[in-house]
Amino acid sequence: MADVVPPDVRSRMMAGIRGKDTKPEMTLRRGMHALGFRYRLHVKDLPGKPDLVFPGCRAVLFAHGCFWHGHDCHLFKLPSTRVDWWRAKIERNHAIDAHAVEALAANGWRVGVVWECALKGRSRRPIESVIDSCVDWLRSDAPDLEIRGFE
């Protein structure tokens, strides 16, 4: 299937997609800050440049977009154009994510992932519930956290 928009328009659209300060990330940041948690953003020294870094808890949180990280939920659908290219891209993203989590854990960091589907779409959870789960995890000794939307 051919693209329905001209290449220059598609290029402008793709250039507008942000890697940080996304809606899911901002939702987490606002909620955590409102509860008194302080964090650093996108620390370049850490593998994967985590979205939120809590040095005092030795923990990091990623706010993963379901499309870009190939999550198995209703928000992810492989595009019908350039399927091979998109499949390879998503697989590369999976590999990068896995490497970052492994490297962080090896360096003593606890790693949490909040998926976009937990915050939007038909399977979303109440935002307070997501934030409370993050807070409980930060206050615990659990090594990892994954928050997905309701199945």
Q: What is the pLDDT of residues 56-102, one digit of tens each?
A: 999 999 999 999 999 999 999 998 888 999 999 999 999 999 999 99
Q: Following CA atoms 97, 91, 6, 19 in sequence, which dihedral angle do they give, to the nearest 10 degrees?
A: 0
Mean of the per-residue pLDDT values of the chain: 92
* Residues 40 and 65: beta-carbon distance below 8 Å: no
Adjacent-strand bridge partners of 64: 115
pLDDT tier at 53, thresholds 50, 70, 90: very high
Domain boundaries, the chain: 17-147
Q: Which distant-in-sequence residues (6+ apart) come within 8 Å of 56 by Cβ?
A: none
Q: What is the pLDDT of residue 123?
A: 95
Q: What is the pLDDT of residue 114?
A: 98
SS3 string, the chain, reads CCCCCCHHHHHHHHHCCCCCCCHHHHHHHHHHHHCCCCCEECCCCCCCCCCEEEHHHCEEEEEECCCCCCCCCCCCCCCCCCHHHHHHHHHHHHHHHHHHHHHHHHCCCEEEEEEHHHCCCCCCCCHHHHHHHHHHHHHCCCCEEEECCCC
- Tell me the two tokens of residue 97: 């994510």
Place of tokens 């992810």: 76
> CATH classification of 17-147, choosing from 3.20.20.80, 3.40.50.1820, 3.40.960.10, 1.10.490.10?
3.40.960.10
Q: What is the pLDDT of residue 18?
A: 61
Given a cut of 80, is residue 1 above it in pLDDT? Answer: no
| Distance from C-alpha of 57 to C-alpha of 96, rounded to nearest angstrom | 24
Amino acid, single-letter form, for residue 5: V
pTM of the model: 0.88
